[in-house]
A and B are shown apart, each in its own frame.
Chain A
Amino acid sequence: MGLTLQNRLSSFVFTCLLGSHYSINCLADPSTYNLALRKVIQAAPFTQDEKISHVLNRLGFGSTSTQVKQIRSDKRGVEAALADYIETQISPPDFLAYNGIEPGVISREVAKFPACDGNIEAIVLKGTKPKSTEICFLPSLTDDKFLKYFSYVSDRINACAALEREPNCSNWPSQDQCAATQTLCGSTQHSDQKIRLARIRDFIQVETYRQSLWYTILIAIHSKYPLRERVKFLDFNHFNVDWNKVMENLIPYEKIFRENAFGEFENTLLRTAQSPAMLTYLDNESNTYKRYGLQEGINENYAREILELHTLGPYLSEYAARIGGYNQRELRDVARILTGWGLDAKGSFKFRKLSHDGRNSKLLESKIFGSLFSVAAGPACKAADTGQTAACTVEDIAAGKPGCEVTDCSSKIIDGENLIGHLARVRATAHRVIEKILDHFLYERVGSGEEGITAYRAVRERLVTKFLKSGSDAARKSHQMRDVYAELFLSPEFWSRTAFKSRVRDPLSFGVATMRRSQSSAAPMRYEQLHEVGGLFDRFQDLLKQGEEPIYRFPFPTGFSTSNSKWGSPSHLLAYTQFLASTRNNLSYFEDFATASPLTQDSIIQLSKDLTGFSVSPETSLQIFKEISGITNQRDALTKARFLILLSPENLTQ
């Protein structure tokens, strides 16, 4: 067959996961979960093909014919194969230890580019747009060299701009700094230097986004654990940040969700709270106690969104006793507790105790947060520590004025940690997070009919219970999102007709599925065309743009909507069509014109099986047959048939 190394590896691991018997993964007896899954799948009111399609669509980005064939031919039966697949998906190996992709794929891709370190200035300063062969790989994705380089360039730009505003440095902290900056920025070639620097920065910024997206899509295409990638996208959108504001912090931020996709929600919440990306994006970096002589330095932006979007949510009236919600005073107190959660000079998280408002929180009196701090409140700061006495201002403390020395109150960070722990395990949060998961992986509650809503609520209650699993701290720690997902895939509701094909395919899923299919065919996608300017990858970016799926660059903290009503529009069909049209020269399956004889309805069905593993419905194949019957050129007919198959209702639902 002439398989590449990568394909051979892929099929080896795959066979194993699907139940063959010569690997450590496969030696163990099926788990009780696995056995229970098999029963549920067995009982599901689906045909065999539907079962396979359901799993590959829900727990991944769609089917490829290779995958479908493998599952179908599993000797132990389709149910066992699918149960193994599901179990593997929710228990992927640690991302750091094993990238979740065929070893070497990413590094091989990366190796095709020169590193940016040495030659970036030369390339960018030419003044012309870099050629595709000159695009260099920003090491941000592999190490921190890039971050250093980026901040070096940015600092120089900012310093020169500051000097331009105040040429005599009247308000500068030190004249030494002023002189140094004057030397750096120069006097005669000042503006010239600035333009050159700005050009480098612009290049880096644009490339950071482009390469971050490229990196994440490469993983989505190659990963053997596509469910983790889907959960990662869902979680990122829940804790949305905008690349335009976080720039080089994007990739480290994205990692949180990949590493913690099936871990503890509390951990994710805490890591986002302390991430440079979130601290910058929602301004908590500037949420401080007293500053610049103004009355207060509270910035409530992050506090508001952690309550409204990441955890509790606004008031809900669905229940007799309403859940969620908070009032303005509570919000201010939450903001106050999070004062001082900021960044150090290197841009890493730091609890800055001088900026922390250590006053006792009024939250103690709150109904929602009532018992929060009775559990593990840290040692209280003395009044003088936080500048509470008339005699000590923050400046006095900073200057170490006698009587205003800071004693140890750094443990007040524990207030924030307690708060986050508390927010992560209240019912309103569980409810909110579970609904997002269900809307994404089960079906959307809105518009699912009376029965659908009843079933939705039933499964929601079960998952909320899993999420909340009360008990001692130790017991809670052992509780992970994996359990929630495991429960979901075991639910009869997941295996119901209401759930089947209930989601409309979004642009990302469409694009990744298209590329995965090409990848798994005999002639893999030609990577050298992937990264070219105007090549396959740029087409992918166009697809996301036209399809309004602004991955990593949606400006609002709500995250973008992923509801069915958004994706199933004519403009999406247009975007998908354009994507197929503009990439067909790169995707191998569009170049297979072996079918020499005129197409029949049967050969259209076979064409569909070759593309997706499944046949389209008789009505669809008949209509496609009619639509191509007038075309005399066989290649045109074949291309149009393939387009119509990939864009048919069967393939635009998942």
Chain B
Amino acid sequence: MKRRQFIAHTAKIIGSAYLAPLVTCLPARAATQPSTLTGAVPPTLVFIDNLGAMDALAALQPHRNSVEARINDDYLSTVRPNLLTPHGLLLPLDSTGAIPYALHPNLSGLHRLWNSGNLSVVFNAGFPRGEMTETGRANPNLRSHFEQMRNIQTGISDSSARAGILNRTLASLSAPDAVPSKFSGVALQNEIPTSLRGSYKISTLQSLSQLDMNESLLGLGGNSFFTSLQKVFGQSSDQILRGRLRGVGSDLKKMIEEGLSLRRVEAPEYGTHPFHLRLKQAADLIIKGAGRTRVIHIPGVNGLDTHINQVTRASNLERLGDRGALADKLRIFGDGLESFCRDLSQNGVFDNVIIVAMSEFSRTIKQNGSFGSDHGGGTAIWIAGGRAKSQKFLCESAPIQDQNLSGKYADPGVGELAQKSRGSDLYQAFDYRRVFAEIFKEHMGISDDNLALIFKGLVNPGGDFYGVTRARV
């Protein structure tokens, strides 16, 4: 079965002589960090859901440092000429040419994280294409954003309601480690995302300012208005109302009681994009929450679904990957992640945090007629943070032109879907579940038995890891 070879680059801190000195997001080992919290935080996981399908080949493009990469580059010049970025602008991941991909210039934030040893990448990854449902059926909704993102967040492809993988993880945290707080699991949006759906009670917040429910807002005398409101809710004996608005009263009470008021170091510059604001809120939660928060789900950068005008239009075969809509989004993504890491680091809580960002799938290798690309293919998983393995890069080594569904690496068992796909997909060599299983086990301390429940159907869930986490300091 060893028909594929993976390239795996393990930790190798590179001198990066060809790069200017960079402001890096140092792990909290640096002793100069002022912090109100000494023991840092328990293992924490931040999941960034980049719904919309980021074009992985734009974020990570083959460069010309090796023969293989040159072959890929030549091929891509013919099928996605405009979506490519000029070579000179790419940010290489090493100087030897062993890693055949380089970062998009607007991902300089991620590049700095990589250089400081706080980023790993699993390329050609995604939700398995084969037999994945409870009923043993092939995943039929391979190219649907919403279905596939839901699959990723439940660990199985079936439209039946199932608890999300992050909720199951929270529920199976071993007892002494578990913190029974309303803020153990938080989604920074108003609706519970699939990943956090389930029996374990979690919180949704659109912004932390929602916790500042103080009297001054209303200018009303007497007791706190919200305490009153909470009591009115607590009093209702109406069965239906109790059913419908279950827990609102106690949620309010907890919020008032748990009001997060710890101090933190001034946050670094985050930018004004909503994604940046959400990251800052997540940092607030981790830093001020004094270890209450273990899992955070953040909606990622939107506008990644670049069917049209992924790049600025032109009338020739010019490489335009550094200009246009996607380039702007990549900048927002990379800079945001870097600010987030720096913030956690300055506040002394970086060591025990892992951030995973991924899209539901990638985009077609070929560009379409609208200077964009359509759905499909293996995506890139970004693993950052103090517990992320330093500079690990995993990818499929087969030439890209052989990677589409009709090529020699065609996936068996996909049936009709394996029909010639004119969009041509990047090969999917890595199972995203193994990335999460490793983080759940090595970082969060979830047992193999519980892993088997979280990822039903995954063979040997507690092993065969890709090595994207590093040992606890």
A interface list, Cβ under 8 A from B: 171, 282-283, 286-288, 290-292, 294-301, 304, 308, 314-318, 325, 327-329, 331-332, 446, 497, 500-504, 546-548, 555-556, 558, 561, 563-566, 568-574, 577-578, 581, 617, 619-620, 622-624, 626-628, 630-633, 636, 639-640, 643-644, 647-650, 652-653
Contacts and interface: CB of A to CB of B under 8 A. Distances in A.
A512 B140 CA distance: 42
B223 A630 contact: yes
A566 B244 CA distance: 11
Interface in B200-225: 204-207, 210, 213, 217-223, 225
A300 B252 CA distance: 46
Contacts of A570: 210, 248, 251-252, 255
A329 B223 CA distance: 64
A653 B210 contact: no
A558 B226 CA distance: 34
A647 B374 contact: no
Interface stretch (B229-237, B378-386, B448-456): B229-237
Contacts of A648: 232-233, 236
B202 to A, nearest CB: 11
Contacts of B205: 571
B447 interface: no
Contacts of B421: 328
Given A317-B135, A555-B302, A573-B248, 17 more contacts: A296-B369, A297-B370, A314-B141, A329-B416, A547-B190, A558-B146, A565-B192, A569-B251, A571-B204, A571-B207, A581-B218, A620-B235, A627-B232, A633-B221, A636-B220, A636-B221, A643-B220
A620 B191 contact: no
Contacts of B5: none
Contacts of A288: 369
Contacts of A304: 143-144, 375
26 contacts: A283-B308, A283-B372, A286-B372, A292-B369, A296-B368, A297-B369, A308-B144, A308-B147, A314-B144, A314-B159, A327-B417, A501-B244, A502-B244, A548-B190, A555-B302, A556-B145, A565-B191, A569-B204, A569-B248, A569-B251, A570-B251, A571-B205, A577-B225, A627-B222, A643-B220, A652-B245
Contact of A619 (B236, B240, B372): B236
A644 B229 contact: yes
Contact of B372 (A299, A620, A650): A299
Interface string B145-167: 11100000000001111000000
Given A332-B422, A502-B240, A636-B221, A298 B369 contact: yes
B229 A573 contact: yes
Contacts of A171: 314-316
A500 B244 CA distance: 11
Interface in B53-87: none
B238 interface: yes
B135 A577 contact: no
A643 B225 contact: yes
Contacts of A294: 367-369
B140 to A, nearest CB: 5
B460 interface: no
Which of B217, B231, B245, B417 has most A Cβ within 10 Å?
B245
Nearest to B134: A317
A503 B206 CA distance: 21
Contacts of B190: 547-548, 566, 569, 571-572
A299 B307 contact: yes
Contacts of A644: 228-229, 232
Contact of B51 (A500, A504, A556, A623): A556
A632 B221 CA distance: 9
A497 B240 contact: yes
B30 interface: no
A579 to B, nearest CB: 12
Contacts of A282: 307
A604 to B, nearest CB: 11
Interface string B243-280: 01100100110010000000000000000000000000
B1 interface: no
B161 A446 contact: yes
Report, nearest first, the 4 A-B pairs whose CB atoms are least far apart. A297-B369, A286-B370, A627-B228, A548-B190
A318 B161 CA distance: 11
A300 B422 CA distance: 12
Contacts of A565: 191-192
B236 A301 contact: no
Contacts of B308: 283, 286, 299, 301
B189 interface: yes
Given A317-B160, A548-B206, A639 B241 contact: no
B342 interface: no
Given A299-B372, A568-B245, A627-B228, A581 B217 contact: yes
A249 B210 CA distance: 35
Contacts of B160: 317
A617 B369 contact: no
A223 B422 CA distance: 50
Contacts of B316: 171
Interface of B: 51-52, 133, 135, 140-147, 158-161, 189-192, 204-207, 210, 213, 217-223, 225-226, 228-229, 231-233, 235-238, 240-241, 244-245, 248, 251-252, 255, 302-303, 305, 307-308, 314-316, 366-370, 372, 374-375, 416-417, 419, 421-422
Contacts of B231: 623, 626-627
Contacts of A620: 232, 235-236
Contacts of B143: 304, 328, 331
A619 B237 contact: yes
A636 B222 contact: yes
Contact of B220 (A327, A556, A619, A639): A639
Contacts of B158: 317
B333 to A, nearest CB: 16
Contacts of B144: 304, 308, 314
A640 B228 CA distance: 9
Which of B147, B158, B192, B236 has most A Cβ within 10 Å?
B236
A304 B192 CA distance: 26
Nearest to B317: A293
B175 to A, nearest CB: 28
Contacts of B241: 501, 649-650, 653
A316 to B, nearest CB: 6
Nearest to A302: B307
Nearest to B248: A568
A561 B189 CA distance: 12
A54 to B, nearest CB: 12
B191 A566 contact: yes
Which of A290, A500, A573 has most B Cβ within 10 Å?
A573
Contacts of A623: 231-232, 235
A631 B222 contact: yes
B159 A315 contact: yes
A127 B354 CA distance: 46
A643 B221 CA distance: 13
A53 to B, nearest CB: 12
Contacts of A653: 240-241, 244-245
Contacts of A446: 161
B91 to A, nearest CB: 25
B215 to A, nearest CB: 11
A503 B243 CA distance: 11
A620 B233 CA distance: 8
A640 B244 contact: no
Contacts of B135: 317
B303 A555 contact: yes
A108 B244 CA distance: 41
A327 B416 contact: yes
B81 to A, nearest CB: 9
B229 A647 contact: yes
A568 B244 contact: yes
Contact of A500 (B213, B240, B251, B302): B240
Contacts of A546: 206
